[in-house]
Amino acid sequence: MNKLPDNIVVGEPLVSLKSLGITDKELTVYEDQEVFIPRILKKYGFFKSTGEIKRNKPELWRELKFPDFLQLSFGHKRVCIITGK
């Protein structure tokens, strides 16, 4: 994946993405089943391994709740993770 996503949507959001301030210009990817945050971040290229997340960001070593909205930043990289139903 060349460009990191701006938004990751897990499941079906409870409100429209537009109402959350997400525009069509942002790269939004959809994830159907994975809810473990380290696997999601590794899959989309924010980290090289889940172990790197456990060492550097242990607070992210968890599963997403339903519903949930996270705004994360790692240096210059930023991502919003939206979890619906």
User: Looking at the domain assignment, is residue 21 inside a domain?
Assistant: yes
Does residue 10 contact residue 31 with C-beta atoms inside 8 Å? yes
User: Looking at the domain assignment, is residue 77 inside a domain?
Assistant: yes
User: Looking at the domain assignment, is residue 2 inside a domain?
Assistant: no
User: Looking at the domain assignment, is residue 19 inside a domain?
Assistant: yes
User: Looking at the domain assignment, is residue 49 inside a domain?
Assistant: yes
What are the pLDDT tens digits along the chain (85 aa)?
468 999 999 999 998 999 988 999 999 999 988 999 999 999 999 999 999 999 999 999 999 988 989 999 998 899 999 998 8
User: Looking at the domain assignment, is residue 41 inside a domain?
Assistant: yes
Domain count, the chain: 1
Instruction: Provide the pLDDT for residue 45.
Output: 94
Identify any residues that bridge with 69 across adjacent strands, giving them in sequence order.
Answer: 82
Sequence-ordered strand ranges (E) for 1-85: 7-10, 28-31, 68-74, 77-83
Range of the domain at 70: 7-83
